[in-house]
Chain A
Amino acid sequence: MTFDLLLQTLASGVLIGLIYALVAIGLTMIFGVMEITNFAHGEFLMFGMYASFWMFALLALDPMFTLPFTVLLLFGVGMLLYRLVIRRIIDAPPLSQIFTTFGLMLLFRGIAQFLWKPDFRTIENSMVAGSVNLLGVQLGRPQLVAGIGAVVVTAAIYLFLNRTKLGSALEATAADKEAARLMGIDSHKMFALAWGIGAACAGAAGALLSTFFPIFPDVGANFILVAFVVVNLGGFGSVTGAFWAGILIGVVEVMGGLLVGPQYKTAVVLALFLAVLMFRPHGLMGRA
Chain B
Amino acid sequence: MSRLNTSTVLGLLAAAVALVVPFATSNPAHLNMAILALMAAQIGVAWNLVGGYAGQASLGHAAFYGIGAYTSTLLLVKFGVNPWLGMLAGGLVSAVLSGAFGWSCFRLKGHIFTMATIAVATIVEIVFTNWEYAGSAVGLYIPMDKQGLGAMVFADKASYYWLALGLLCITLLATWLVERSFLGYYFRAIKDEPDAARSIGIDIARYKQVALSLSAFFTALGGSLYAQKELYIDPPSVLSTALSIKMALVSILGGVGTLFGPVIGSVVLTTIEELSRAMFGGTGRGTDTIIYAGLIVVIAVFYPTGIIGWYQDRVRRFKARRERAEADAAAPAAARAARPTSSTSTGAAL
Chain B: residues with Cβ within 8 Å of the partner, total of 43
Is B85 interfacial (CB 8 A cutoff)?
no
Is B259 interfacial (CB 8 A cutoff)?
no
Interface residues of B in 110-139 (CB under 8 A from A): 110-112, 114-116, 118-120, 122-123, 126-127, 129-130
Binds A, one of B21-29, B159-167, B293-301, B332-340: B293-301
Q: Kindly name the residue among A85, A89, A99, A105 whose own CB sees the greatest number of chain B CB atoms within 10 A.
A: A99
Interface residues of A in 87-140 (CB under 8 A from B): 88-89, 92-100, 102-107, 109-114, 117-118
Minimum Cβ distance to chain A for residue B219 (Å): 18
Q: A92-B304, A98-B57, A100-B300 are in contact. Are A110 and B286 (CB under 8 A)?
A: yes
Is B146 interfacial (CB 8 A cutoff)?
no
B300 touches A111 (CB 8 A): no
A residues at B contact (CB < 8 Å): 31, 35, 37, 85, 88-89, 92-100, 102-107, 109-114, 117-118, 217, 225, 228-229, 232, 261, 263-264, 266-267, 270-271, 273-274, 277-278, 281
Q: A94-B57, A99-B252, A107-B290 are in contact. Are A113 and B285 (CB under 8 A)?
A: yes
Q: Which residues of A contact B150 (CB under 8 A)?
A: none
Minimum Cβ distance to chain B for residue A47 (Å): 15
Tell which of A93, A94, A232, A263 touches B130, judged by Cβ atoms closer than 8 Å: A263
A278 touches B122 (CB 8 A): no
B296 touches A274 (CB 8 A): no
Tell which of A94, A107, A267 touches B293, judged by Cβ atoms closer than 8 Å: A107
B290 touches A281 (CB 8 A): no
Minimum Cβ distance to chain A for residue B57 (Å): 5
Tell which of A35, A111, A225 touches B122, judged by Cβ atoms closer than 8 Å: A225
Contact with A along B272-294 (1 / 0, CB 8 A): 00000000000011111110111
Q: A96-B300, A267-B126 are in contact. Are A118 and B119 (CB under 8 A)?
A: no
Interface residues of B in 142-165 (CB under 8 A from A): none
Given the complex of chains A and B, what is the CA–CA distance between A31 and B110 in angstroms? Answer: 13
Known interface pairs A89-B301, A106-B289, A109-B286; 16 further A-B residue pairs with C-beta atoms within 8 A, sorted by A's residue number: A37-B115, A92-B304, A96-B300, A97-B111, A100-B296, A102-B245, A107-B293, A110-B292, A110-B293, A113-B285, A113-B286, A113-B289, A114-B290, A229-B119, A261-B130, A274-B120
